[in-house]
Amino acid sequence: MAIPSPSLSADPRVAEVLVRRRRGSISGGVFRGLLMAALVMSLLFLLALIVDMLVEGQGVLLIRPVEFLTGNLNSNPALAGVWQGIRGTLMLALIVAVVAFPLGIAAAVYLEEYAGDTAYARRVNINIRNLAGVPSIVYGLLGLTVFVKILGADGQGGLTGGRTVISAGLTLAALVLPVVIITAQESLRAVPAGIREGALALGATRWETVRHHVLPAAAPGVLTGTVLSLARAAGEAAPLLVVGAVTGVFFVGAQGFFEQIFSGRFTALPMIIFSWARLPAGQGWNSLAGAASFVLLIMIVVVNGVAIYLRNRYEQKW
Amino acid sequence: MDARMSMTETGRRQGLMARPVPRAESEAAPSVVPTTVFDINDVSVYYGGFRAIRDVSLDISKNQITAMIGPSGCGKSTMLRCFNRMNDLIDIARVEGSLRYHGVDLYGKGVDAVEVRRRIGMVFQKPNPFPKSIYDNVAFGPRVAGVKGALDDVVEESLRRAALWDEVKDRLKQSAYGLSGGQQQRLCIARALAVSPEVILMDEPCSALDPIATAKIEDLMAEIKRDYTIIIVTHNMQQAARVSDMTAFFTAEVNEQSDTRTGILVEYDRTDKIFQDPADRRTEDYVSGRFG
Amino acid sequence: MAQATADPRLGADSPDALRSDPRKRRTERIARLVFMSAAFFSVVVTLAIVLSLVFEALSFLLGVDLGALFEMGWFPRRGLFDVRTLIVGTLLVTGIAMLVAAPLGLGAALYLSEYARPRLRRSVKPMIEILAGVPSVTLGYFAISFITPQLLRPFQSDVAFFNLASAGLAVGILTLPLVASVAEDAMRAVPQSLREAAYGLGSRRMKVAVNVVFPAAISGIVAALVIGASRAIGETMVVAIASGATGGSLFSLDVFQPGQTMTAAMAALGAGTDQVRGADNAFQSLFFIGLLLFAITLGLNVFGDRFVRRIRERY
């Protein structure tokens, strides 16, 4: 076999082949461009959403921002404010945090740290994944039956008092529970087995291992997951609609924050947006709905953004 | 009983008779017969229907380093994890036979794995410090063992014994993840020493370390064996030859029908005997590098 | 035979030395019980959902003239419960939503997984996560304030203010991040060695993406679409705001006119439960539709979950 002699000049055949190969990259470039366009479009929606809310709501947001945020519901669009909605949403978020977080994290600890790979644990896991996919309005029906009618004696007293903040809060807690469990499980699963073995080999019990090592190591992911699910609960309206949030004008009177939780008639920011958005155009309600949407959107985007940022920053890379 | 089996038995008996103190001498001076810490009889471990090791019998003596060597998949790590019941953590694992620790059946009724692990510490293949400060890594064991009050002395003493004190004394509050791999492994040893166990199990403790860090760990083992009984799994034959007093050679036999491998103990004897004059042909092949 | 000598550190040469501390054992048992009850609670929630739906749905079916389920439209207060109207409305909205979410979601996923540099991915993924967190009422409002007037009216002059098309597009935007993230996870799970093998044979990036990554991740991609569709079917507030037809709707296939989906019908009934409270058929139809919706989304999720698990097992 002849050894090819080294040559400094370009071999025309090689050049031809390479050029031909380059032509193939035109379709590749188009393809790449299309994919990038899909990504850019997806992100543009977020921008369009924020800009649209700002434009629609500017009449309210620029002219009377403080009155809008601190004012109560009113049948006169020029005077209406969203304070009752913000307050209701905060109350609901508080109930969700108190009920769903401990329950969800505890369930995740059981499934990841205690249950092992038993048939029972597998069934519970599948059950939770399916629960996470149940539409939120169906949870509303659950809340209506269990918290309003059975536990609340259909408004005639009972544990929850019927159509109250506590009933709605418990409904939302049930709604986000599977999401809390799943995200907490993922964070727990990411903690390396070596840490558990190390603690157990020192004579620590399961509980000591979980409390001192596994939970602290999983904390950034668990916290982010819970905050994201809290934001989801805060943005929900469908279950509240069924459980009976108020969409019209109402007066809280002189009730305190905690007093109101058990005593009926409540609303939430998403409910206010829903009712305003459906009112006939041309009387100023649309602008109010836009402004309220902007407030809700910013609240949720900021909370989510901070949670995601903190997770990406502090998450342990194993 | 098949031929292999009886060879295993022979190996074991030879091991028993040929204690570090040769037989002739031990008859002359019976007071130095070493204390037996573990008395293992016909132990088999199953993972579900799969048998990982079969009929292992051996005795482990106090204040000695016992090495377990053999090709990968021969069950030596599985055996090691029986000594402190780490196999309990695997749902499908099942241990049969008798493992006596100072005469007490480790898997007997009423015996708590947590208490077992407090007396029989373990160092793992990959350094696995907790994502906490160096101090907290060492102090965790005594704390869960119920030691109250200041642990500074325990922490310092354990780090000194693990030959790490001088390197870390100025940064005890810093994260253990800032240490090098070798330092992390010595920290894990210090962590194990802090609960004052009697036995320390080491599962290929140097396989993730460079030669210099390995040498440090080996020196450390020779140093602490006065106070502890050490069982080490290693796939590094030179290491076994360098550090151990007794060596157990395991191999895997292939099960014809199921195409799985079950570990068996081939020969257990003084380390110099295993490496210079093994009784079993398979041991000789392995230590001379002809197989495995 | 080996002699067992008491070790001073062991305390006593008896099994008692290795017995557990009763206080610790109690703590351990309590902790386990608490965690187990919490996990069991999720089973309770499931049962509660099924039971609360089944009873009222059954009494609806027993109380209503079954012919009313196939009438000319959905007007619950007049006793007309045409389920086809709702199902067709739901399918139209879901179909439009998937026309948005499938190409954009899969395209974005493929770009992020195969083309994007790590830095870009690190900054874009959180944005997609944030898009996933946008409340659905906000998107409902976006549908009537932007999509209908700015995107639909310029092309189709006779678009009603409330219509199924704009609701469908907005639901698509809502579903998009879910499709993108499930699909991207599946594509990233394809082992690097498969890609390298293809590059080693001189394949171009597009060929690798289309001929190697896409087929290898196909289970996950199917799962993303199925789970996305399930989410679109169950989406309520966007449709309740943007599709109109509060009181009821005639059977219609025109996406530019108001229409009714299962969820929108439920929202309308739910918002009006004060008026239709009691054992009245209209109120109970809420539970019947709820059960139907639960069954459909559950079926889709179980189906999608099987695909997710398949790709997880393979790699």
| pTM for the whole structure | 0.86
Question: Total structural domains in chain A?
Answer: 1
Residue A157 pLDDT level (bands cut at 50, 70, 90): low
Determine, for residues C135 and A130 on separate chains, whether the beta-carbon distance falls below 8 Å. no
Whether A2 is covered by a domain: the verdict is no
Q: List the one residue out of B280, C304, B191, C50 whose CA is nearest residue A202.
A: B191
Determine, for residues C2 and B116 on separate chains, whether the beta-carbon distance falls below 8 Å. no
Give me the domains of chain B, ranges plus CATH numbers. Answer: 3-19+33-125+198-287 (3.40.50.300)
The helix or strand, by DSSP H or E, that contains position B58, with its residue range, turns out to be: strand B50-61
Please indicate if any CB of chain C lies within 8 Å of the CB of B101: yes
Which of the listed CATH numbers 2.60.40.420, 1.10.1740.10, 1.10.3720.10, 3.30.70.360 matches domain C66-314?
A: 1.10.3720.10
Please indicate if any CB of chain A lies within 8 Å of the CB of C97: no
What is the pLDDT at residue C6? 37
Residue A138 pLDDT level (bands cut at 50, 70, 90): very high
On the question of pLDDT at C141 being above 90, the answer is yes
> Does residue B33 sit in helix, strand or coil?
coil
Please indicate if any CB of chain C lies within 8 Å of the CB of B24: no
What is the pLDDT at residue B30? 44
Which of chain A's residues have a Cβ under 8 Å away from the Cβ of B124?
194, 197-198, 201
Closest-CA residue in chain C for A34?
Answer: C107
Determine, for residues C263 and A137 on separate chains, whether the beta-carbon distance falls below 8 Å. yes
B120 half-sphere exposure, CB direction, 13 A CA radius = 25
Indicate the range of A301-305, B180-184, B200-204, C309-313 predicted with least confidence: C309-313
Please indicate if any CB of chain C lies within 8 Å of the CB of A244: yes
Which ipTM score applies to this complex? 0.86
What is the pLDDT at residue C1? 37
Instruction: Report the alpha-carbon distance of residue C172 to residue C235 in Å, rounded.
Output: 10
CA distance B112 to chain C (A): 5
Neighbours of chain A (3+ CB pairs under 8 A): B, C
pLDDT (average), residues C141-145: 92
What is the pLDDT at residue A247? 62
Whether A300 is covered by a domain: the verdict is no
Whether A224 is covered by a domain: the verdict is yes
**292 residues of chain B, pLDDT tens digit each:** 344 444 444 444 343 433 344 444 434 444 456 788 899 999 999 998 888 999 999 999 999 999 999 988 888 999 999 999 998 888 888 999 999 998 889 998 888 888 899 999 999 999 999 999 999 999 999 998 888 877 899 999 999 989 899 999 999 999 999 999 999 999 999 999 999 899 999 999 998 888 998 998 999 999 898 999 999 999 888 899 999 999 999 998 888 777 788 999 999 999 999 999 999 999 999 988 876 5
Determine, for residues B128 and A316 on separate chains, whether the beta-carbon distance falls below 8 Å. no
Determine, for residues C20 and B103 on separate chains, whether the beta-carbon distance falls below 8 Å. no
Who among B128, B140, B191 is closest to A197 (CB)? B128
Determine, for residues A195 and B131 on separate chains, whether the beta-carbon distance falls below 8 Å. yes
Burial level of C9, CB count in 10 A (0-12/13-18/19+)? exposed
Contact by Cβ (8 Å): A228, A245: no
pLDDT (average), residues A15-43: 80
On the question of pLDDT at A174 being above 90, the answer is yes
What is the pLDDT at residue B3? 41
Whether A305 is covered by a domain: the verdict is no
Which of chain B's residues have a Cβ under 8 Å away from the Cβ of A118?
91
Contact by Cβ (8 Å): C127, A46: yes
Enumerate the domain spans of chain C: 66-314
Distance of CA C226 to the CA centre of its chain: 9
Determine, for residues B102 and C2 on separate chains, whether the beta-carbon distance falls below 8 Å. no
Q: Beta strand B229-233 with B199-203: parallel, antiparallel or unpaired?
A: parallel
Who among B36, B115, B196 is closest to C20 (CB)? B115
Q: What is the pLDDT of residues A229-244, one digit of tens each?
A: 999 999 999 999 888 7
Cα dihedral sign, C183-C184-C187-C191: negative
What is the pLDDT at residue B84? 92
Q: Which range scores top for mean pLDDT: A104-108, A113-117, C53-57?
A: A104-108
Residue A284 pLDDT level (bands cut at 50, 70, 90): confident
CATH number at residue A159: 1.10.3720.10
Average pLDDT, chain C: 84
Q: Count of CB contacts below 8 A, A vs C? A: 281
pLDDT (average), residues A199-211: 93
Tokens representing B166 are 């001088």
Q: What is the DSSP letter of C21?
A: P
Indicate the range of A279-283, B93-97, C37-41, C129-133 predicted with least confidence: A279-283
Chain C residues in contact with chain B using a Cβ-Cβ cutoff of 8 Å: 1-7, 9-10, 13-21, 24-25
What is the pLDDT at residue B149? 76
pLDDT (average), residues A32-60: 90
Tell me the one-letter amino acid at B234: T
Tell me the one-letter amino acid at A116: G
What is the pLDDT at residue B164? 92
Chain B contact probe: residue of A191, A200, A202 with most B CBs at under 10 A: A202
Contact by Cβ (8 Å): A56, A286: yes
Neighbours of chain C (3+ CB pairs under 8 A): A, B
On the question of pLDDT at A249 being above 80, the answer is no
Indicate the range of A262-271, B126-135, B255-264, C269-278 predicted with least confidence: C269-278
Please indicate if any CB of chain C lies within 8 Å of the CB of B30: no
Please give the full DSSP string across B179-245, using - where no structure is assigned.
S-HHHHHHHHHHHHHTT--SEEEEESTTTTS-HHHHHHHHHHHHHHTTT-EEEEE-S-HHHHHHH-S
What is the pLDDT at residue C60? 84
Which of chain A's residues have a Cβ under 8 Å away from the Cβ of B140?
199, 202, 204, 212
Contact by Cβ (8 Å): B15, B7: no
Who among B114, B124, B192 is closest to A194 (CB)? B124
Determine, for residues B110 and C15 on separate chains, whether the beta-carbon distance falls below 8 Å. yes
CA distance A123 to chain C (A): 10
Which of chain C's residues have a Cβ under 8 Å away from the Cβ of B198?
7, 9-10
Whether A263 is covered by a domain: the verdict is yes
Q: What is the DSSP letter of A76?
A: S
Chain B contact probe: residue of C18, C25, C29 with most B CBs at under 10 A: C18
- Chain A, residues 213-242, CB within 8 A of chain C, namely 228, 231-232, 234-238, 241-242
Residue A312 pLDDT level (bands cut at 50, 70, 90): confident
CA distance B113 to chain A (A): 8
Residue A252 pLDDT level (bands cut at 50, 70, 90): low
More confident position, C122 or C104 = C104
Please indicate if any CB of chain A lies within 8 Å of the CB of C111: yes
Whether A139 is covered by a domain: the verdict is yes
Determine, for residues A212 and B144 on separate chains, whether the beta-carbon distance falls below 8 Å. yes
Which positions ≥6 away from B127 have C-beta within 8 Å?
B181, B184, B185, B187, B188, B208
Q: List the one residue out of C133, C304, C154 whose CA is nearest residue C224.
A: C304
On the question of pLDDT at C140 being above 90, the answer is yes
Please indicate if any CB of chain A lies within 8 Å of the CB of C161: yes
Q: Which alpha helices (DSSP H) does chain A contain, by range?
A: 12-63, 65-70, 83-109, 119-132, 136-143, 165-189, 193-201, 206-209, 215-235, 238-243, 257-261, 269-277, 285-314
Please indicate if any CB of chain A lies within 8 Å of the CB of C100: no
What is the pLDDT at residue C80? 76
* Structural domain harbouring A178: 88-268
> Does residue B68 sit in helix, strand or coil?
strand
Indicate the range of A33-37, A129-133, B25-29, B147-151 predicted with least confidence: B25-29
Tell me the one-letter amino acid at B290: R
Chain A contact probe: residue of C24, C130, C169 with most A CBs at under 10 A: C130
More confident position, B141 or C153 = B141
